Structure 1
């Protein structure tokens, strides 16, 4: 990379991010649609392109809720209610919006594509299968890729990048055959990871700001794919610890973002790759965090010439080197 670049990627999944959990986190799922639109507007306001890694099922116009021909089996789709889609989202027979809208998202995908900012739409698999799990077969992974590509193509979207659900990278050998050229890799370990005092080490890092997040370098892997690793999950530090630090100082994640931007500016190369889910920003407080972060990124872009790009944009630049 010729200069420092910020990448923002989003795991855009609605209910699919939790469908294999024992119970759904009600607030996050119910608020995800509004959060998605908030983010589209926020990025539009600051002219910030992002990589939206969308679960392929969200592209569908309708489904039977069973997907009997999918090799993952019907139990995997047990929460899929089946529905049809119209321009306002999924509807019940009386024309009223209902909870089935957690599983379909053509209107939200159209919102990403409808503005002036040149976002990337990437894959988050078809139904949020974890490719890196030992029991995820090659057959299931191939079906997830094939269906994602087909569903996106019906809406005129060509997928280049993939974000693996829960960051569990796997079955990379299949990606090229389905048209993918790059992916978001796992973040490098920070100094406290894998240590007995991991929790206090993380607390000290976020509280004191003594160590900023990593600036990463894209690499070409053994399959010819460009790995654009993550740097920082924007909602990895919350709860009581966040409350305590903010009472005395500032948002600890906002501080980490600023430290990363300063390091990127000083190095003038590399990638600062931030990521989140739309369902992370369902409360006013979390939206305020994102608004501050995006505004800060825009100011570093405007004042210092830091680049802002998508995963596929960074990958294309790396491939051209």
Structure 2
């Protein structure tokens, strides 16, 4: 199918400490995590003001109230990662209590779900790593089953998925079909954005991605709808990571914005999809600066909507649009 308008898609990897647990000690990252609730509410205000629809890919652990409740609802099959620090279940075993500010968010999830155009999707149950040694398709299937079940217990039907660390695994796509997951966010095309385990994310690859934030190293990464819905589950790939404010690099923010808005222009003019993503915890510090930057993106979307008919659709809405065209 071909679109008759460009699409601006936003997805957020909502994970709290579960997404950075192997990278930072809690005391090293708690300021970012403590600011998430405020940042999320401010993002929702921007989205509501500008009519931006977003997919909130949420780690299943966040639906629980506390550690005891989580421990009573674990999957039937657990991954046995070769790198032990990746396993959240070892972290649970060694904990007597977990601070809910950094590990759980049932009220915030419910708040997001009350806003029009905001989809609650899954970031797997446990922030599952699909390209790391020591896990299997059966473990993954058990994880997704729990993610869907805990969301369903809150009255939420999960139909979209974002793979943690963008480790999307072609061998697991059939499982997504079986589990009723209709779309996922794939990676930008090209070598520097290729899905790998952590060992593949070496300094050169990370450095080129940083450069790509400010200069057009790898292209606009906008997508024709027909290419994204060629097979099920549908792949709505990322176009650009919204890198958070950095005081050290703030003098380059004009280039950072231009890199995003030029890709949005490409999608609007050529009737393609532009998919922007980030983590709420990226906005947990320097919140004012990050929100001001997001407002500039939102105002650019307003202009493209008025001049070119661009629309904002979340991943579920993209899937629904594709299905209606196939019907």
TM-score normalised by the shorter chain: which range applies?
0.7 to 0.9
Give the aligned partner of residue 140 of structure 1. Answer: 139
Native 8 Å contact 1:212 1:256 kept in 2 = no
Give the aligned partner of residue 198 of structure 2. Answer: none
**Residue from 262, 265, 274 that aligns with 1:262:** 265
Give the aligned partner of residue 213 of structure 1. Answer: 220
Give the aligned partner of residue 277 of structure 1. Answer: 279
CA distances 1:149-201 after superposition (whole Å, capped 9, x unpaired): 0000011111111000010002212111211111001111289999x987887
Native 8 Å contact 1:54 1:122 kept in 2 = yes
Native 8 Å contact 1:216 1:230 kept in 2 = no
Native 8 Å contact 1:62 1:82 kept in 2 = no
Structure with more relative contact order (C-alpha pairs < 8 Å, separation 6 or more): 2
- TM-score, with structure 2 as normaliser: 0.80
CA distance in 2, matches of 1:301, 1:134: 45
Give the aligned partner of residue 124 of structure 1. Answer: 123
CA distance in 2, matches of 1:127, 1:312: 22
Following superposition of structure 1 onto structure 2, how do residues 227-246 of structure 1 map, counting pairs within 5 Å?
227-235=235-243, 238=246, 240=248, 242-246=249-253
CA distance in 2, matches of 1:211, 1:311: 24
Residues 1:167 and 1:207: Cα distance change in structure 2 (over 3 Å): closer
- Three-state SS of the structure 2 residue aligned to 1:15 is helix
- Which structure has more helix as a fraction of its residues? 2
**Residue from 305, 309, 317 that aligns with 1:313:** 317
How far the C-alpha of 1:299 sits from its partner, in A, is: 2.8
Q: Which stretch of the first structure deviates more once superposed, 183-192 or 10-19?
A: 183-192
Aligned residues: 298
How far the C-alpha of 1:317 sits from its partner, in A, is: 2.3
- Three-state SS of the structure 1 residue aligned to 2:100 is helix
CA distance in 2, matches of 1:107, 1:49: 20
Give the aligned partner of residue 87 of structure 1. Answer: none
CA distance in 2, matches of 1:200, 1:78: 32
How far the C-alpha of 1:213 sits from its partner, in A, is: 2.1
Structure 1: which 5+ runs fail to align?
A: 84-97
Please tell me the root mean square deviation across aligned C-alpha atoms, in Å.
3.1
Following superposition of structure 1 onto structure 2, how do residues 1-321 of structure 1 map, counting pairs within 5 Å?
1-21=3-23, 23-24=25-26, 25-64=29-68, 66=71, 67=74, 70-72=77-79, 76-80=88-92, 81=95, 99-115=99-115, 117-170=116-169, 171-189=172-190, 207=214, 213-217=220-224, 218-220=227-229, 224-235=232-243, 238=246, 240=248, 242-246=249-253, 250=254, 252-267=255-270, 269-282=271-284, 283=286, 284-319=288-323, 320-321=325-326
CA distances 1:277-318 after superposition (whole Å, capped 9, x unpaired): 101112122222112212221332233210110112112323
- Three-state SS of the structure 2 residue aligned to 1:214 is coil
CA distance in 2, matches of 1:215, 1:178: 28
CA distance in 2, matches of 1:163, 1:68: 19
CA distance in 1, matches of 2:11, 2:159: 14
Q: Which stretch of the first structure deviates more once superposed, 9-18 or 21-30?
A: 21-30
- Three-state SS of the structure 1 residue aligned to 2:12 is strand
Native 8 Å contact 2:161 2:185 kept in 1 = yes
Residues 1:9 and 1:301: Cα distance change in structure 2 (over 3 Å): same
How far the C-alpha of 1:6 sits from its partner, in A, is: 0.7
- TM-score, with structure 1 as normaliser: 0.81
Structure 2: which 5+ runs fail to align?
A: 195-200
